[in-house]
Amino acid sequence: MTATAPSRAPEGSFPTGFRFGAATAAYQIEGAAREDGRGESIWDRFCTLPGAVANGDTGDVACDHYHRWEEDLDLLSALGLESYRFSIAWPRVQPDGRGALNAKGVAFYRRLVEALLERGIEPVATLYHWDLPQARQLAGGWAVRETASYFAEYAAAMAGALGDVVEGWVTHNEPWVVAFLGHAHGVKAPGVRDWRTALTVSHNLLVSHGLAVDALRAGSDAPVGITLNLTPMRPVAPKDVAAAVRLDGHQNRWFLDPVLRGTYPEDMVEHYERRFGTLGFGELEVIARPIDFLGVNYYNPAAVRAARRVAPLEAELVTARPPTTAMGWTVDAEGLHEVLTRLRRDYGDLTIYITENGAAFDDERATDGTIEDPSRVAYLADHIEAVRRAIADGVDIRRYYAWSLLDNFEWEHGYEKRFGIVGVDFGTQVRTVKRSGLWYRDYIAGVRGGAA
Ligand code: IFM
């Protein structure tokens, strides 16, 4: 690896205990979809639906991380990363999503976590990053309350199997995506298109989070949190303010309020009940179990316009203006600072982990094999600087995870969208640290007072 541009943050500009890391998710990197007793997940099934995923791609092989995990942990070490957020595939450790554990699956995560600890890297495990066992889906999936109880059993089993070595737990990753992209828009597994179902799913996911908090605490002393994807909603014009408040309610407050205040936002309950009838969601005290940190995934802000014809929210997102990423998402680091300071203003003193932040770009490999990705370097530099400013403004932020360690299976976009700070050639599985990975390594070294 060669040297890169100097880091911007002076030594000591992050508080003691702050850690830099990278994040991944099981289905996006592991592969080995039918090996060692792993059960089928809703994503395995979704990928078989014609037209569901770009190019008919699947997670069958992905980054082959299940076999190459040691090499991948060596990359984490080489980059000087201090924490690693990965996810446990529920169907790998409990193939039917209930009952007996799969010893080989559990052993895989045990080896992974122990090897992280040997390398001095903090292991932070996410329990649910979208790969529900298909057997649970056949029994009603997240639309039935029973699935929340099974999730709590799974959480208890993981606390029992890994609670002595995992150093942080995330119950759910982005429940908004699971509920609404998976059950209202149908663009993600399980591909359902029904808003009323999506609302029930959002509630059952939140209940399952609270139940899992209890289960994890019973078997592990590690901090527990939930990860929400938060997006500043910006009205295009003054006439769009109400629509932006509604989309903020739909995506951000619908999850923040029950978890942190024990209530659903009244404006949204009214809005939904006018269209779908009484919701009658209970168990708010379970959802609001105290957590040790809030995980925040931030990628971009959104521009919102009122649109009466777009049911049920009567609002729409406006195509982003450049600069944008390969996903078409606006590049705007100020939005991250806005999210972080808003959390403190509206929800009080929370401990925050930035559990994902990053960007997809159409990287080009030079003839010598190197990958120069200046746009991603700039994205990371500007967003980490926004984190630093939020800390200086009094927000308690303890972790920053770049999304992602590796180029990987980007859900319905298949392998076309590359988010990695390490490039993956999916033909050969060769990993190449991109310029952004080198920059991140040197930045961390600079903050720690080492040679950049
Ligand atoms: O790849 C996803 C990840 O699984 C969840 N958060 C957003 C990322 C980029 O789309």
CATH number for the domain harbouring residue 303:
3.20.20.80
Nearest CA to ligand 1 atom 1: 410
Please give the structure tokens belonging to residue 274: 């006018």
| Phi and psi at residue 422, to the nearest 5° | -125, 125
Residue 187 CB burial class (10 angstroms; 0-12, 13-18, ≥19) = middle
Q: What is the 3-state secondary structure (H, E, C) of 231-261?
A: CCEEECCHHHHHHHHHHHHHHHHHHHHHHHH
Q: Which residues contact 387 (CB under 8 A, 6 or more apart)?
A: 336, 340, 354, 397, 400
Q: How confident is the model at residue 12 (pLDDT cuts 50, 70, 90)?
A: low
Mean pLDDT of 109-131: 99
Distance in Å, CA 277 to ligand 1 centroid: 32
Residue ranges making up the domain that contains 377 = 19-447
> Helix crossing, 145-162 with 195-219: angle to 10°?
30
Question: Residue 354 — φ and ψ, nearest 5°?
Answer: -80, 100
Which amino acid is residue 345, in one-letter code?
A: R
**CA 10 – ligand 1 centroid, Å:** 30
| 11 in a structural domain | no
What is the number of the ligand 1 atom nearest to the C-alpha of 356?
6
The confidence score (pLDDT) of residue 3 equals: 39
- Model-level pTM? 0.97
Token digits for 352?
Answer: 């925050």
Q: Which atom of ligand 1 is nearest to the CA of 360?
A: 9
Domain membership flag for residue 13: no
Q: Whose CA is nearest to atom 4 of ligand 1?
A: 25
Percentage of the chain lying above the pLDDT 70 cut: 97
371-372 vs 364-365, strand pairing mode: antiparallel
Which residue's structure tokens are 């991140």? 440
452 located within any domain: no
User: Would residue 3 count as lying in a domain?
Assistant: no
Find the residues whose C-beta lies inside 6 A of ligand 1: 25, 28, 174, 297, 356, 403, 410, 419
Determine the atom of ligand 1 nearest the C-alpha atom of 327. 10
Closest CA to 249 of 266, 236, 237: 266
Q: Is residue 297 part of a domain?
A: yes
Write the residue with the smallest CA distance to atom 10 of ligand 1.
Answer: 410
The verdict on residue 187 lying in a domain is yes
Helix (H) or strand (E) holding 117: helix 103-118
Could you tell me the distance, in angstroms and rounded to a whole number, from the CA of residue 256 to the centre of ligand 1?
19
Number of structural domains in the chain: 1
Determine phi and psi for 75, rounding to 5 degrees. Answer: -65, -45
CA of residue 270 to ligand 1 center, whole Å: 30
- Rounded Cα distance between 412 and 429, Å, is 21
Average pLDDT, the chain: 97
In a domain, 192, yes or no: yes
Nearest atom, ligand 1, residue 229 CA = 6
Peptide bond between residue 133 and the one before it cis (omega within 30 degrees of 0):
no
Does position 243 have pLDDT exceeding 60, yes or no? yes
Q: How far apart are the first and last CA of the chain?
A: 12
Best mutation site among 43, 419, 421, 424 for ligand 1 pocket (most ligand atoms within 8 Å of CB): 419
- CA–centroid distance, 80 to ligand 1, in Å, is 23
> For 253-307, what is each residue's pLDDT tens digit?
999 999 999 999 999 999 999 999 999 999 999 999 999 999 999 999 999 999 9
User: pLDDT by residue (tens digit) across 175-210?
Assistant: 999 999 999 999 999 999 999 999 999 999 999 999
Atom number of ligand 1 nearest to Cα 25 = 4
Most ligand 1 atoms within 8 A of CB, residue of 41, 46, 63, 356 to mutate: 356
Catalytic residues: 174, 356
Tokens of 422: 């390490």
In a domain, 265, yes or no: yes
User: Rounded to the nearest whole angstrom, what is the distance from the C-alpha of residue 178 to the centroid of ligand 1?
Assistant: 12
Residues 6 or more apart whose CB falls under 8 angstroms from that of 57 comprise: 47, 409, 414, 415
The amino acid sitting at 402 is A
Predicted confidence band of residue 11 (pLDDT cuts 50, 70, 90)? low
